Amino acid sequence: MTDPRAQTVGDLGERALLARIFAALSGSSRALVGPGDDAAVLAAPDGRVVVSTDTLVHGPDFRLAWSNGLDLGWKAAAVNLADIAAMGARPTALVVALALPDETQAAFVDDLARGLRAACDALAPGCAVEGGDLTASDTLTIAITVLGVLDGADPVLRSGARAGDTVAVAGTLGAAARGLALLFDRFRSADGTPIPVDEAALTAAERNDLRAQLRPAPPIAQGPAAAGGGATAMMDVSDGLLLDARRMAEASEVRIDLDPALDEHALRGGEDHALLACFPPGIALPAGFRPIGRVLARAADAPDRDGFVTVGGAPVTGRGGWDPHRDWDAVRG
Amino acid sequence: MTDPRAQTVGDLGERALLARIFAALSGSSRALVGPGDDAAVLAAPDGRVVVSTDTLVHGPDFRLAWSNGLDLGWKAAAVNLADIAAMGARPTALVVALALPDETQAAFVDDLARGLRAACDALAPGCAVEGGDLTASDTLTIAITVLGVLDGADPVLRSGARAGDTVAVAGTLGAAARGLALLFDRFRSADGTPIPVDEAALTAAERNDLRAQLRPAPPIAQGPAAAGGGATAMMDVSDGLLLDARRMAEASEVRIDLDPALDEHALRGGEDHALLACFPPGIALPAGFRPIGRVLARAADAPDRDGFVTVGGAPVTGRGGWDPHRDWDAVRG
């Protein structure tokens, strides 16, 4: 008889696999109609729903040698929850599309479901997996769509920053990038292949960085808190502070000047999923936010594609952040 | 200088590719906050939102030799819209996660966006792409989440069928499976590799079948019409009538007896995305629905895993429908 822990997705088939996933999620649904029908039905009490989607793909976004199912489920949930928080909204539901190679271990899928649930419970209590889809694929892919509600507040866009605002951040900056550097520098074989992490070989600070990379904990509750605290603009820092601050400045037609004390990992490292927000002058920052710069008027004669972000008043040089299509080859390395 | 039609996703990078996709979708958004921020904000006027997700993966779900970008965008939208219609709801928004190999032609992505838009315009006017995500992957994957609204109606579940109901269907049964059989039988090389379709070699009936496979047109408006017309249960027929009717019968704890005049393609063929619905006896079927069977009480002594679906009163034998993890190898063929 086969060891049940060794069963693969191909052995089980869709129906049995779905039953296992439902078991891992059992009791978590808050939907009007939960998983199992053609679609879920969710409450949207103030007549609006916030929605975003983000995908993790084996290769560019994770390696199975470095991330287990619990890590991946957690991270896939966390990065999506952050997009809802960044609108000033409260996440209420995930729908999860899994594309799985036949040889995927069924136990891995159990862990993935448990990781999704654990991240929701820890970061966004009340949010649960309310629907999904299973497909066969050669490439393990986790595509999540997250929904949320605004509880009567206005959404906070990235286009609302005004000259004079304080630029602030909640959450870590640079830790996820340091964690990724650790994996690349210390946990690959001579030919570049990822090898399992030996946590005992890490310092406490390094373990924190690794955790920020593998199980990020973005400050989800700070999103609605920022909206309630008067934030004029907000977004999550997923591709690096320089690149994301530039997007905010461009959308708001302002210049953002960042604190020169920020180091290179904080400025250029991706995947932190911190919340970057602007607040009017003279307003106390909500708990969890710290100032990292200010919003200035953009010079009328600034070059079209430049001058949106400065650091200590000086222009930024070099690469801004992460682009999956441009940067993936380096990551394969 | 490179021919712009020959540019790849890897050449362009994420920013330029997104700009092209937005251009193809320009003017279609009906959202309170449309694409471009961390999340979209949609109206949910009656305080509820309906949500479902469905993924197309290169290999098990489509072949690029057989489907162009327009076909794929259309089909990815259509199969998702059908899940919302099957709840008795009206689709309002798609969010689209694309995982693309670097070598994907940018023109293919333009076509995909146009196909998504064309299907929404034709099948569910008022529904548009309101958000998305781009990722690099070795496997071309289109993961769509669709949202909809109930306009004050109760959702129609698959669990509401009652003994005495008429079983009815709107849309085609079997055509998509005949279209798939055409592709496998006539448009593969000697070693089984898919080759481009020669439409001139097909009869008019065959072209219809091919279209049902490549650009299905599920009867989206019939979903809310069925809800308004008193449907007790509804679902979309995606994995074959026998398998999906069984799911409905199981959820409703009834037996569904199907018309013996239904042929094998109609009974077992997947991907039609017709709407299967039950209506109380004596009610006129809404326009677009035709009767294909009736709901009976399930015998108290019926075996646990059997007896949910009969055809002309007789038990069903053989395979029920499509399971991607069990059946993919056959499709690789």
* 3-class DSSP assignment, residue A133: strand
- How far apart are the C-alpha atoms of B315 and B169, rounded to whole Å? 21
What is the ipTM score, two decimals?
Answer: 0.92
Point out the domain boundary residue: B90, B121, B149: B149
Point out the domain boundary residue: A149, A178, A211: A149
Contact by Cβ (8 Å): B157, A40: no
- How far apart are the C-alpha atoms of B201 and B222, rounded to whole Å? 34
- How far apart are the C-alpha atoms of B18 and A239, rounded to whole Å? 15
CA B257 from chain centre, in angstroms, equals 24
B158 labelled binding-site residue? yes
State the nearest Cα–Cα gap between A132 and chain B, in angstroms: 6
Question: Which residues in A lie closer than 8 A to residue B324 (C-beta atoms)?
Answer: 14, 134-136
Same domain for B177 and B143 = no
Interchain contact, A39 vs B89, CB within 8 Å:
yes
Same domain for B92 and B231 = no
Two structure tokens written together for A56: 């993790």
Q: For residue B322, what is the nearest residue in chain A, using CA coordinates?
A: A14
Between the CA atoms of A7, A12, A15 and A20, what dihedral angle is there, to the nearest 10 degrees? -10
- Count of pairs with CB atoms under 8 A, one residue in A, one in B: 260
State the nearest Cα–Cα gap between A125 and chain B, in angstroms: 20
Same domain for A219 and A142 = no
Closest CA to A298 of A251, A265, A260: A251
Interchain contact, B48 vs A53, CB within 8 Å:
no
Instruction: Classify residue B127: in a domain, yes or no.
Output: yes
Q: For residue A237, what is the nearest residue in chain B, using CA coordinates?
A: B38
Binding residues of A for ATP: 132-133, 158, 238
Residue ranges in chain B modelled with pLDDT below 50: 326-333
Same domain for B126 and B215 = no
Same domain for B179 and B106 = no
State the nearest Cα–Cα gap between B56 and chain A, in angstroms: 8
- Determine whether B118 is exposed, middle or buried from the number of CB atoms within 10 Å of its CB (0-12, 13-18, 19+): middle
Q: For residue B223, what is the nearest residue in chain A, using CA coordinates?
A: A38
Instruction: Classify residue A157: in a domain, yes or no.
Output: no
State the nearest Cα–Cα gap between A88 and chain B, in angstroms: 10
pLDDT in tens, chain A (333 residues): 557 668 999 999 888 998 899 899 999 999 999 998 999 999 999 999 999 999 999 998 999 999 999 999 999 999 999 999 999 999 999 999 999 999 999 999 999 999 999 999 999 999 999 999 999 999 999 999 999 999 999 999 999 999 999 999 999 999 999 999 999 999 999 999 999 999 999 999 999 999 999 999 999 999 999 999 999 999 999 999 999 999 999 999 999 999 999 999 999 999 999 999 999 999 999 999 999 999 999 877 666 556 899 999 998 876 555 555 544 443 432
Q: According to the model, what pLDDT value does residue B50 have? A: 98
Interchain contact, A143 vs B53, CB within 8 Å:
yes
State the nearest Cα–Cα gap between A196 and chain B, in angstroms: 23
Same domain for A173 and A124 = no
Same domain for A263 and A117 = no
Interchain contact, A10 vs B326, CB within 8 Å:
yes
Interchain contact, A14 vs B137, CB within 8 Å:
no
Same domain for A85 and A180 = no
Instruction: Classify residue B332: in a domain, yes or no.
Output: no
The 8-class DSSP code of residue A206 comes to: H
Interchain contact, B33 vs A134, CB within 8 Å:
no
Interchain contact, A37 vs B9, CB within 8 Å:
no
Residue B240 lies in domain = 166-322
Question: Which residues in B lie closer than 8 A to residue A50 (C-beta atoms)?
Answer: 39-42
Binding residues of A for substrate: 61, 271, 322
Interchain contact, B52 vs A60, CB within 8 Å:
no
State the nearest Cα–Cα gap between A145 and chain B, in angstroms: 7
CA B154 from chain centre, in angstroms, equals 22
Q: Which of A15, A53, A135 sits opposite B97 (nearest CB)?
A: A53
| Residue B206, amino acid | E
Question: Which residues in B lie closer than 8 A to residue A42 (C-beta atoms)?
Answer: 48-51
Residue A14 sits in a domain whose CATH number is 3.30.1330.10
Q: For residue A15, what is the nearest residue in chain B, using CA coordinates?
A: B323
Instruction: Classify residue A184: in a domain, yes or no.
Output: yes
β-strands A90-100, A141-149 pairing: antiparallel
Same domain for A192 and A144 = no
State the nearest Cα–Cα gap between A287 and chain B, in angstroms: 22
Closest CA to A78 of A204, A197, A238, A205: A238
Q: For residue B82, what is the nearest residue in chain A, using CA coordinates?
A: A38
Q: How many domains is chain A built from?
A: 2
Interchain contact, B50 vs A40, CB within 8 Å:
yes
Contact by Cβ (8 Å): B128, B172: no
Interchain contact, A326 vs B14, CB within 8 Å:
yes
Question: Which residues in B lie closer than 8 A to residue A136 (C-beta atoms)?
Answer: 57, 59-60, 324-325, 328
Residue A292 sits in a domain whose CATH number is 3.90.650.10
| Span B152-206, pLDDT tens digits | 999 999 999 999 999 999 999 999 999 999 999 999 999 999 999 999 999 999 9
SS (H, E, C) chain B: CCCHHHCEHHHHHHHHHHHHHHHHHCCCCCCCECECECCEEEECCCCEEEEEEEEEEECCCECCCCCCHHHHHHHHHHHHHHHHHCCCCEEEEEEEEEEECCCCEHHHHHHHHHHHHHHHHHHCCCCEEEEEEEEECCCCEEEEEEEEECCCCCCCCCCCCCCCCEEEEECCCCHHHHHHHHHHHHCECCCCCECCCCHHHCCHHHHHHHHHHHCCCCCCCHHHHHHHCCCCEEEEECCCHHHHHHHHHHHHCEEEEECCCCCHHHHHCCCCCEEEEEECCCCCCCCCEEEEEEEEECCCCCCCCCCCEEECCEECCCCCCCCHHHHHHHHHC
Same domain for B191 and B142 = no
Closest CA to A98 of A78, A72, A124: A72
- How far apart are the C-alpha atoms of A85 and B30, rounded to whole Å? 22
Instruction: Classify residue A161: in a domain, yes or no.
Output: no
Instruction: Classify residue B206: in a domain, yes or no.
Output: yes
Point out the domain boundary residue: B149, B179, B206: B149
Instruction: Classify residue A179: in a domain, yes or no.
Output: yes
Same domain for B196 and B137 = no
B322 labelled binding-site residue? yes
Instruction: Name the β-bridge partners of B278.
Output: B167, B233
Same domain for B101 and B42 = yes
Interchain contact, B138 vs A141, CB within 8 Å:
no
| Residue A296, amino acid | L
Instruction: Classify residue B43: in a domain, yes or no.
Output: yes
